[in-house]
Structure 1
Amino acid sequence: MIPTSAKGFLSPQAYGLRNHICMIPCGGLLGDANQYWTKDQLLPYAKYVVNNQIIDNMFKGFIFNGIRAREKHFIYPLFVGFGEPSDITDWLLWADALFLPNLNLNALADVAGNEKRDVWVSIPYPHPFQKSFGTVGGRVLNFLLEDDRLEAVKWWIDQFLVRWNKNAHLHQNLDFRGFLWQREAIDANDEPLAARVNEWIHKKGCLSMWLPNYGSFGVINWNTMGFDVTAVNTNYTGNTSYDYKWIQYSSLFSAAYHTGMQMIWGKGLIYSDNHHLDYWNLGLAAHCGFMTESYLVYQFPNQRLDVLMKSNLVDYVRLYTFIKGLYQRVEYPGIPYN
């Protein structure tokens, strides 16, 4: 049975998890994207920092999402067309990168302090473009075959868990919760694979997460595919044809299908100056109510909080109040809703 809140969203306390989860992308389409996260970069995510002083905690959980592990080889499926699909070398590099000294998981453990954080990691997507992945179990795997794709994913999950168990010092400050399925849409060809992967994840005693786009393939089948935690991206960024009502539409869907919600604060041409305020305003009880009623996942496309806290301290403070359930509506010129 799906643990839900009073309004029908996936409960903020679902499966005993900590709420307010932040996506940490490792790498990007361009070579200068942040791939290895340091303690200084992660500190304002884990802690509420004002004027170089730690005031309180911030995010209670983190998703480390592998985009690339070497130049022109992409783990993240949507970027594969700009380079080469990942192979066994990239998958091993991703597993190794998570445990680098003073970086990524080790950096997060150092800044977590006395309050433990939940951790999730992305499974590399077995892209069908890859016909010669590498040798697993004495065979060169071909991702045109579903069984080979499953074999590769099971192998990688086991590789990660071996490393996690060996790094026992991380367990004091971090709780590993499970694995993220990377693609935001799951079509009919991938649904059986996703379900089989989730069976393996559960067999290992872990949970599975999916972060689909509102209206994407497979989204209404998230539970039947075996996902435990699903949080919907509204598709709203402020400077496209998808207006603020998509937050409302997505919240109605999420309440009906018992998913969580994603909070977006991005940088770039498609992101308006006030799109993040729309998420926070519409999350209030007077509107959609997901601020306190839903499991929430936060993404910061094309920017980092250690930079934002210096360039936009006011909204960094507002973000903190939203996480704490204390946020109050912010007006801005031309706001399109009452």
Structure 2
Amino acid sequence: MVAIAALAVGTQASALAATDQEPRPRNLAAGLGYSWSQAPDAAYPDDGRELTDGHYGSLDRNDPAWVGHTKGETREVVIDLGSRKSVSRIDAHFLQDWPASSILVPLTVSMYVSQDSKSWALLAHKSTQLLWGDGPPRDETYFWDGVVDGFPDRNDEGTMAYARYVKVMFSVHTRASQLLDEVEVLGFDGRTKQAATPRPDHTAYLTPGTSTAGISDLALLYNGHYESGKGNWTKDRIIPYLEYVDTAGRPVEQLFDGVLYLGLRTPEGRDFGSGSTTLSDWMWYLNKTFAAQGDLEQLNEAAGQVANDLGKPGLRTKVVLMIPDPGESLTDFGDVDGDGVTEDVNESSVGREQAVANREKIVRWWIDTVETRWANAGYTHLKLSGLYWLSEQISVSASGPETLRRVSAAAHDNGHKLFWIPHFLAYKSYMWSDVGIDAAAFQPNYFFEDMSAERIEDASAIAKRYGMGVEVEFDERMLTDDVFRDRYITYLNGGVKYGYMKSAFLAYYQGNDAVLQAANSSDPRQRVLYDWLHEFVRGTYRPQSTG
């Protein structure tokens, strides 16, 4: 009898414990079908249930569980849960096998939910933590977790997303495949107390305005060291950028309303954007740029001439100047504050906190020096409108975002907007505004590689998704090579087709002086490239044929 009584008590206690346990989320996507924005590669096919069948692939690309995509636009997979449910977590699992099998995990995976599969609410952009690199096969799971990540707008209460549709998007590399095997959507049927309906996103380009310091069209003029001397700008070389001149050399109207001076190389070949330059290199660039007859004085004289030509004596050209990247490796940058101690930006040497503080000290010294020299020069036809972060991606180190927040704060403390132009595969480019950058233009990078014109569409969509402007890219090769001429035209045509010609803040990469060469050319086929650019800046360009 005692044993039976004890058993009864134990059974009752177990029942109470089971009643008190929190219900566990289930995989709401298990066994469901889904739709792809673009069919997977034939080498890594999908039977329509591969991502939801619960079968994870081994670290072998030949495992049939893997579904693959190569080249082309950003991929989207949409899962219809059948009805609105409470989503607590989304997982997407990918393979990396580089370089042996040319497989990389995506740079970025984005997760969205929707009530109608038309209006989508962002849950998270997630960057790879595994990072790209050589090694044996590895895997990575990208996830959104409502408790950990919450909602991007921070205005919705709740830790679950109440929605019917789930979308997972991931970037595709131009020279590697992306393989995934499972997408899990964890949560509960119906609506729980913790579930909220996220607000749909309104995607749009960054438009010219306060955040761009009023600049609509920013011309990049490279004034670092070149053996040819093309980094040394003169008044006459600059004028065709500031005003459109006709075939007789007569001024017609303003062209670019902003100029970005930036240097890539020192005379010794060190790169200002890689964190390898030291104080002496930075001083060389300052001395060159601010010399009595240096690059800024030449720009000032050109701007004065343009103001006179156009009958606008009060016109001042807006100028953006670069901030070189102090990097994360140097232990002996140089002494910027005269305390007798060289600045050390290496975390393994001085620790993360001190390294970040030293990077900030260097940047603040740079900004103060730029402002002092600018004030002393007294440029009457120029306006210092902003500063430009030269590195084209956020550092992959843990301190990368914090360093950029310090840089942004330094720029803002001195009353300047901070500009940025990340490349297409830039790490964490989506978080540009989170780290304090004011104006960003996204690089399609279509001009530089053999790829489908889909890249322009994809880059335009990414720019809108991230709220950026767009960089129009070309160089001197367009003048003599039909392949590059067509790529240039594709950028201009894309501006009309995808709306960035009239609706976005634009930056213009032109190699060194492609615009100047086109403007001065007596060959009508070259000269028309300058004329089309003028029409594009005005917003009147009409698409041209290629091929």
TM-score category, normalised to shorter length: 0.7 to 0.9
* Structure with more of its chain in helix, by fraction: 1
Matched, 1:9 2:205: yes
1:210 is matched with which residue? 420
Counterpart of 1:48? 244
State the distance in 1 between where 2:267 and 2:494 align. 40
Matched residue SS, 2:485: coil
Query: Quick check: 1:239–1:271 contact (8 Å CA) kept in 2?
Result: no
Is 1:64 the equivalent of 2:261? yes
Map of 2:465 onto structure 1: 256
**Following TM superposition, by how much is the alpha carbon of 1:89 offset from its aligned partner in structure 2, in angstroms?**
1.2
1:244 corresponds in structure 2 to: 453
Is 1:152 the counterpart of 2:351 in the alignment?
A: no
Q: Per-residue CA shift, 1:49-93, capped at 9, x if unaligned?
A: 22222222111001000223433333232xx7xxxx321111112
Query: Which residue of the partner structure matches residue 108 of structure 2?
Result: none
Paired with 1:184 and 1:40, the residues of 2 have a C-alpha distance of 30
Q: How does 1:214-229 map to 2 (within 5 A)?
A: 214-229=424-439
Q: How many residues align?
A: 317
Q: Which residue of 2 aligns with 1:91?
A: 282
* 8 Å CA contact 1:31, 1:71 repeated in 2: no
Deviation of 1:46 (Å): 0.8
C-alpha distance 304-129 of structure 1, shift in aligned 2 (>3 A): farther
Corresponding residue number in structure 2 for 1:276: 488
Change (3 A) 1:93 1:60: same
Deviation at 1:235, TM superposition (A): 1.5
SS of the equivalent of 2:545 reads coil
The 8 Å contact of residues 7 and 255 in structure 1, kept in 2 or not, is answered as yes
1:121 paired residue number? 321
Considering only CA atoms, is the larger Rg found in Structure 1 or Structure 2? 2
Cα deviation per residue 1:157-196 (whole Å; 9 max; x = unaligned)?
Answer: 111111112122x1x3211111111111113422110111
Which of 371, 395, 398 is 1:187 aligned to?
A: 395
The alignment partner of 1:100 has SS state of coil
Taking the aligned partners of 1:316 and 1:254, their CA distance within structure 2 comes to: 25
Equivalent of 2:222 in 21, 25, 30: 25
Q: CA deviation at 1:130?
A: 2.6
Paired amino acid for 1:278? T
**Residues 1:173 and 1:303: Cα distance change in structure 2 (over 3 Å):** closer
- Answering whether residue 485 of structure 2 is matched by residue 288 of structure 1, we say no
Contact 2:289-2:296 at 8 Å conserved across structures? yes
The residue identity in structure 2 corresponding to 1:247 is: I
SS of the aligned residue for 2:446 comes to coil
Quick one: which of 318, 333, 336 aligns to 2:532?
318
In structure 2, the partner of 1:175 is: 383
AA partner of residue 181 (structure 1): W
Report the CA distance shift for 1:282/1:37 in structure 2 as closer, same or farther (over 3 A): same
Q: 2:463, 2:470 within 8 Å by CA — same for their partners in 1? A: yes
State the structure with bigger RCO (CA 8 A, min sep 6), 1 or 2.
1
Unmatched segments (≥5 aa) in structure 1? 334-338
Counterpart of 2:375 (choices 137, 141, 165) is 165
Q: CA 1:293–1:152 in 2, change beyond 3 Å: closer, same or farther?
A: same
* Structure 1 position 95, deviation (Å): 1.7
Contact 1:134 1:141 in 2 (8 A): yes
The 1:136/1:7 distance shift into structure 2, 3 A limit, reads: closer
Q: TM-score, normalised by structure 1?
A: 0.87
Q: Is the 8 A contact 1:68 1:90 kept in 2?
A: no
- What letter corresponds to residue 43 of structure 1 in structure 2? I
Deviation at 1:42, TM superposition (A): 0.6
| Greater fraction strand | 2
Asked if 1:198 corresponds to 2:408, the answer is: yes
User: How far, CA to CA, are the matches of 1:218 and 1:332 in structure 2?
Assistant: 34
Could you tell me which amino acid in structure 1 is paired with residue 292 of structure 2? Answer: P
What is the correspondence of 1:73-92 to structure 2 with a 5 Å cutoff? 73-77=270-274, 85-92=276-283
TM-score, length-normalised on structure 2? 0.55
Measure the CA separation in 2 of the matches of 1:192 and 1:222. 12
**Range with bigger deviation, 8-17 or 201-210:** 8-17
Letter in 2 for 1:283: G
Instruction: Tell me the CA shift for residue 128 of structure 1.
Output: 2.9
Q: What CA deviation, in whole Å up to 9, does each residue of 1:4-30 have, x standing for no partner?
A: xx97111123435121110111125x5
> Do the aligned partners of 2:272 and 2:390 also contact (CA within 8 Å) in 1?
no
